[in-house]
Amino acid sequence: MPIPKLFEGCLSLPVISAPMFLASTPTMVIENCKAGIVGTFPAANQRTSEGLEAWIIEIKSALKAYEQSTGGKVAPFGVNLIVHKTNPRVNADLDILIKHKVPLLITSLGAISDVVDAIHSYGGVVFHDVVNARHGKKAMQAGVDGLIAVSTGAGGHAGSLHPFALIQELRAFFDKTLILSGCISTGAEVAAARCLGADFAYMGTRFLATKECQINEKYKNMVVSSSAEDIIYTNAISGIPANFIKQSVTEAGFDLANLPTPDGFDIGAEMTDEEERDQNNKIIAKPWKDIWSAGQGVSGVNEIISIADLVKKLITEYQQALSIK
């Protein structure tokens, strides 16, 4: 299926290293793009719009310097923007992405045609996260270039549909780029995504256990030691359904059998560094920072390695999987 020109001739593997709140950094983006896969980060990982601009400048200049010194071509990078009424920074962040002509915008929650048109005005590309065909059709009407099919078991705010069903349903009406997200942690799984009809694999959880990822060592080790049954899918933590590592949920003081009823999703509250305390003056554990997300794809994560080594490993596994006679 068609892949935007932006990605032609610069990828070593059809993989997007997915944006992860509090985890993705410019260093990860730069290492991903140097290794030939698309590097991304959420705009919200920088605490201000000015900080976001500084990160974009850092990434662009590091990639330019790398291309000049090697004569090679790096993969493009992308920024994720949560387009939701509770995100106070949407417009300011968007202005910065347009000013710096960020190659790829990944939108979550809201697909808005004005945003798509603004990115298209300089030749940028927009991919949008969806969990079902209804959201996919809305995003298609907004003019997005690609749909990210977020299936069951994915890290972060996951969907609930099986990837086979989701890809089938989206492909039935969408003939542009399809990206499959959820439990893709090995090169064989990247090949499986391609066999299903996806153009790209979207990998989050696997990149948590890399040397460059900025989450703490305990979190990384939990990703490595967990298996699929150690993951809980609940809306109790972040207000909308997401996957978290059970151990981090219980260590934050929750009873897994008796989780609280959520009172809605508020990205603005999740983005602040401010401490919240309960009536006993005890600090309330925050989703993402203290309660750690990962998908069922933890099963395929067995070691913490550098991004360069991980991409080499993924390429070998991908080629082996596709050469099976």
Helix and strand totals (H; E) in the chain: 12, 10
The DSSP symbol for 103 reads S
- Looking only at the bridges linking them, the beta strands covering 177-181 and 38-42 are unpaired
**124 near ligand FMN (CB under 6 A):** no
Piece of 19-27, 54-62, 63-71, 251-259 that binds ligand FMN (CB under 6 A): 19-27
Output the CA angle 171-167-105, nearest 5 degrees. 80
Piece of 25-33, 175-183, 192-200, 268-276 that binds ligand FMN (CB under 6 A): 175-183
Distance CA 36, CA 292 (A): 28
Q: Which is nearer to ligand FMN, 73 or 138 (CB)?
A: 138
Residue with tokens 């998908």: 295
Q: Considering CB under 6 A, how many residues would be counted as binding ligand FMN? A: 25
**39 near ligand FMN (CB under 6 A):** no
**21 near ligand FMN (CB under 6 A):** yes
**125 near ligand FMN (CB under 6 A):** no
**129 near ligand FMN (CB under 6 A):** yes
**159 near ligand FMN (CB under 6 A):** no
Q: Which is nearer to ligand FMN, 73 or 321 (CB)?
A: 321
Residue 50 C-alpha from the chain's centroid: 22
Rg of the chain taking only CA atoms, in angstroms: 19
In the numeric block, which tokens belong to residue 270?
């999740």
Q: Which is nearer to ligand FMN, 34 or 128 (CB)?
A: 128
Residue 319 C-alpha from the chain's centroid: 24
Burial 190-211 (b: 16+ CB within 10 A, else e): bbbbbebebbbbbbbbbbbbbe
Q: Which is nearer to ligand FMN, 233 or 323 (CB)?
A: 233
Distance CA 309, CA 48 (A): 32
| Minimum CB distance to ligand FMN, residue 2 (Å) | 22
Scanning residues 178 to 197, which ones bind ligand FMN (CB under 6 A)? 181-184
Give the binding site for ligand FMN (CB under 6 A). 18-21, 23, 42, 80, 108, 129, 150, 154-156, 181-184, 202-205, 293-295, 297
